[in-house]
Structure 1
Amino acid sequence: MVEIVPYENCYLSGIVDMILSIQRDEFQIDITLDDQPDLLDIPAFYQKGSGNFWMALKGSEVIGTVSLLDIGGGKAALRKMFVKQSFRGAQRGVAGCLLKTLLTWSASIGISDVYLGTTTAFLAAHRFYEKNGFLEILETELPPSFPKMSVDTKFYRQMIKPSYVLPKRADLEGKK
């Protein structure tokens, strides 16, 4: 069974190993851990303001990640969306669960827009984002606070509909 849970420090080495393996070995992107200092202090970087960081776990194995970086003004950046190759695909649903967790969180805390940057090498990711309501935008349409990585060449945005909680029946009855 796969669980989606917020970041816990005991999984840091699994997160770093998985992300670097995907970036460097699978997609031959010339990026190092030194280029990604956010990975060494996830709570301080992601779990502040409206941000958060989630992991997909199969047992104690990290098989996926996604994070939401608060960039101010009710806007956020989707970062670190990675799923191990053997757990990808619609039939597995890991990426969809990670994204749903992020978007549900965003709506519940009043985020109005989620932006992301990616590389042209991640073709399946482009299709995934587009199927899930992200629209491609020009780099010039990014908010000034968007943290563009040197490898980012393709950008997306999703407007988030606010969520609300329906009042409980007992709450309604008390207002008569």
Structure 2
Amino acid sequence: MTLEIQPIGNTYSEQVIDLILNIQQKEFNIPITIEDQPDLLKIESFYKEGGGNFWGAFLDKELVGTIALVKFDEKAAAIRKMFVKKEFRGKEHQIAQKLLDILISYCRENKIEEIMLGTVSVLNAAMRFYERNRFQKIAKEDLPPSFPLMSADNVFYILNLNEI
């Protein structure tokens, strides 16, 4: 199986929505709908026009993972939509790690120094993954006012690229 990670746009919205909603709703029972995440219907204007990006991981042409970056300040951005299909998670494929590595490289190339993210406390494996990658927990009230909050998120992390 060949893994390809590439920037994707609106032409992939349907596949992205299928992947993400299945994980959110069916696997983790998070009560979230497409109406709660309209950004997935306008990937290019929401993520790319402001200086961020959206990547898809494909195994033999099947979308199996996503990660996105929303730039919300001159030198700061937020990770969004980090999802990997259940059967492709873990050390064997290392898809999440490869997605994160590409996002970090993009940040370095584009002079983004701080990466932040919000997640949900039920996503224990995700939290361990971010902590293994040197993200530090941060209190919600310590986030910058311009951080794009998602209503479901209740755990927050920051990574300063100048310190790693």
Checking the alignment, whether the CA contact within 8 Å between 2:9 and 2:54 is kept in structure 1 is no
Matches of 1:80 and 1:136, distance apart in 2:
18
Checking the alignment, whether the CA contact within 8 Å between 1:116 and 1:157 is kept in structure 2 is yes
Matches of 1:66 and 1:105, distance apart in 2:
12
Cα offsets for 1:84-124 (capped at 9, x unmatched) = 00010022110000000000100111001000000001000
Moved more, 52-61 or 75-84: 52-61
2:105 is paired with a residue whose SS is helix
Shift of 1:24: 0.2
Matches of 1:5 and 1:113, distance apart in 2:
22
Residue pairs, 1:134-153, within 5 angstroms: 134-153=135-154
Partner of 2:36: 35
Partner of 1:131: 132
Checking the alignment, whether the CA contact within 8 Å between 1:48 and 1:70 is kept in structure 2 is no
Checking the alignment, whether the CA contact within 8 Å between 2:54 and 2:67 is kept in structure 1 is yes
Two-structure CA RMSD over aligned residues (Å) = 1.2
Partner of 2:100: 99
Partner of 1:76: 77
Percent same amino acid at aligned positions? Answer: 45
Give the 4+ runs in structure 1 shifted more than 3 A.
Answer: none
1:126 is paired with a residue whose SS is helix
2:103 is paired with a residue whose SS is helix
Partner of 1:67: 68
Shift of 1:61: 1.1
Matches of 2:79 and 2:47, distance apart in 1:
10
Checking the alignment, whether the CA contact within 8 Å between 1:55 and 1:62 is kept in structure 2 is yes
Q: Specify the code of the residue in structure 2 equivalent to 1:21.
A: N
* Aligned residues between the structures: 162
Residue 58 (structure 1) aligned with residue 78 (structure 2): no
Residue 159 (structure 1) aligned with residue 160 (structure 2): yes
Tell me the TM-score normalized by structure 1.
0.89
Cα offsets for 1:15-69 (capped at 9, x unmatched) = 1000000000000000000000000000000012320000001122110000010
Give the gaps of 5 or more residues in structure 1.
163-176
Matches of 2:44 and 2:74, distance apart in 1:
21
Partner of 1:115: 116
2:55 is paired with a residue whose SS is strand
Q: Specify the code of the residue in structure 1 equivalent to 2:22.
A: S
Q: Specify the code of the residue in structure 1 equivalent to 2:19.
A: M
